[in-house]
């Protein structure tokens, strides 16, 4: 007799109120006793062969003609490869995969799109809206695994998309659809079919409350690629990341623009993160270059510092880490006597729904806060790149040359970096880069230069 967790598949010999693996309460259910020994029938095998005799051309990636999707996968979908795509409800997973299916079907590939969450009519309406109607795109609303396998046998598609795996169930296995047992069996059956037929397969997976993929962790080990589709619902930007990829890198990020008429690839997403391309710059605004995977992105940080009307000061952030902003406020208060945030409300946010998580944005956040507190605007074509220590020291960040090149490409003419950061780094033509050792020096440099330059901030 054993007890198995319905959330993660953890098994133990005695009942527990809380699963030690996923920390869920009341999810351990009693299972029948398993046989102590299993006799496996010996089958005739084709035998092993030298690895040098294996045909590597069978694993060449094929393009889906969705550029950002192919970028993340490492060039396209490998025949027989199985991709697991997860994301928040409503983020656009189905819209993305319908676009992938339509583009693949347009280039003489037979695509089978199986939906278990919507009717065929609902998918057709979305296809009409996103211009995803193709003759080679086959659509089926089905939740039975046997029927899906029968359709694969009859249609012999080049690409299979299942939306989602939690909605499929096998009549030969006990358990409700979406349960651990059903998900494990359905995934294993589809993966066997994909490998035996060299059928490229994309499976959509639900996520739990804490953002992890629902179902047993075994599912992530079985598939070849695990991708997450991210984005704020109030923002048009969507990002595709690969957290596991047997055929390519895991540090690439695909950017998409979610609009009313569908989803499109974004080769240059920096425009979504800027509030202006020219004109005057208000106090509290500073630009930085962050990196999402290998891709540099120009992001605008805005801060507002006002006198607190209540007895307790407020701190509000959006798109940046609240603890990081609190640390920057403490560093500024400690090192710059002209600013004092003790009796001020502070608001810091990014433009366009961008998220700043790496330390390279510290200097831009500090200069944004100092600019707002002093009421002195920064240059409109100015970027700040650097990490700030607790002592106020500015530290260098990786890939500085690539960041400066991206800033120069988008019209930036001035930058501040850490002292010594330009060693072995080529400064782009037309860009003036200043090296500063301390945050107080950086603030004094910007304010001093602006006092000499009446056109600063314009």
Residue numbering of the annotated binding site for ATP: 87-94
- Note if the bond before 164 is cis, omega within 30 degrees: yes
Element (H, E) at 95: helix 93-106
Of the candidates 293, 292, 291, 265, the residue with the CA atom closest to the CA atom of residue 63:
265
CA-to-CA distance for 325 and 287, rounded, in angstroms?
Answer: 16
Cβ atoms within 10 Å, residue 96: 26
CA-to-CA distance for 197 and 214, rounded, in angstroms?
Answer: 27
Q: Cα angle vertex 66, ends 64, 72, to 5°? A: 90
Q: Cα angle vertex 48, ends 42, 53, to 5°? A: 160
Of the candidates 387, 367, 376, the residue with the CA atom closest to the CA atom of residue 286:
367
Residues 128-131: contacts with CB within 8 Å, 24+ apart? 129/260, 129/261, 129/262, 130/95, 130/98, 130/99, 130/102, 130/261, 130/262, 130/263, 131/102, 131/261, 131/262
Q: What 3-state DSSP class applies to 41?
A: coil
* CB contact at 8 A, 12 and 37: no
User: Which residues are annotated binding-site positions?
Assistant: 87-94
DSSP letters, 438-450, are: BHHHHHHHHHHHH
* 25, β-bridge pairs: 18
Q: What 3-state DSSP class applies to 219?
A: helix
Q: What 3-state DSSP class applies to 209?
A: coil
Element (H, E) at 299: strand 295-307
Maximum alpha-carbon separation in the chain: 86
CA-to-CA distance for 457 and 378, rounded, in angstroms?
Answer: 5
């Amino acid at each position: 007799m054993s007890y198995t967790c319905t959330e993660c598949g953890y098994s133990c010999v005695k009942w527990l109120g809380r699963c030690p693996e996923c920390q869920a309460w009341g999810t351990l259910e009693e299972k029948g006793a398993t046989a102590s020994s299993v006799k496996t029938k010996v089958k005739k095998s084709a035998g092993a062969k030298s690895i040098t005799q294996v045909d590597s051309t069978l694993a060449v990636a094929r393009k889906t003609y969705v550029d950002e999707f192919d970028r993340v996968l490492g060039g396209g979908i490998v025949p027989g490869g199985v991709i697991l795509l997860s994301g928040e409800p409503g983020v656009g997973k189905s819209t993305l995969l319908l676009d992938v299916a339509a583009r693949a079907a347009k280039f003489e590939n037979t695509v089978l799109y199986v939906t278990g969450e919507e009717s065929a009519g609902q998918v057709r309406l979305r296809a009409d809206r996103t211009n995803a109607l193709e003759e080679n795109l086959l659509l089926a609303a089905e939740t039975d695994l046997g029927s899906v396998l029968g359709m694969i046998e009859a249609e012999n598609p080049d690409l299979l998309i299942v939306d989602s795996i939690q909605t499929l169930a096998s009549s030969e296995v006990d358990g409700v659809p979406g349960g651990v047992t059903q998900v494990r069996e359905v995934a294993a059956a589809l993966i066997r079919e994909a490998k035996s037929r060299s059928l490229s397969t994309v499976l959509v997976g639900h996520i739990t409350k804490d953002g992890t993929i629902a179902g047993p962790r075994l599912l992530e080990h079985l598939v070849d690629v695990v991708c997450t589709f991210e984005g704020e619902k109030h923002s048009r930007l969507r990002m595709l990341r690969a957290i596991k990829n047997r055929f390519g890198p895991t540090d690439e990020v695909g950017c998409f623009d979610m609009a009313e008429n569908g989803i499109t690839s974004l080769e240059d997403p920096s425009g979504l993160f800027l509030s202006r391309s020219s004109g005057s710059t208000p106090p509290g605004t500073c630009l930085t270059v962050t990196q999402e995977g290998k891709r540099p992105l120009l992001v605008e940080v805005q801060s507002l510092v006002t006198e607190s009307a209540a007895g307790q000061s407020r701190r509000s952030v959006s798109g940046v880490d609240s603890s990081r902003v609190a640390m920057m406020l403490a560093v500024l208060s400690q090192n710059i006597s002209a600013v004092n945030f003790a009796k001020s409300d502070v608001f810091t946010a990014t433009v366009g729904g961008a998220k700043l998580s790496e330390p390279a944005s510290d200097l831009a956040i500090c200069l944004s806060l100092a600019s707002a507190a002093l009421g002195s605007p920064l240059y409109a074509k100015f970027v700040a790149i650097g990490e700030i220590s607790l002592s106020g020291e500015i530290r260098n960040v990786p890939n500085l040359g690539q960041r400066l090149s991206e800033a120069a490409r988008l019209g930036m003419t001035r930058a501040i970096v850490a002292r010594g950061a330009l060693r072995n780094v080529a400064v782009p033509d037309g860009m003036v880069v200043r090296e500063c050792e301390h945050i107080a020096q950086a603030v004094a440099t910007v304010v001093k230069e602006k006092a000499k330059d009446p056109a600063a901030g314009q």
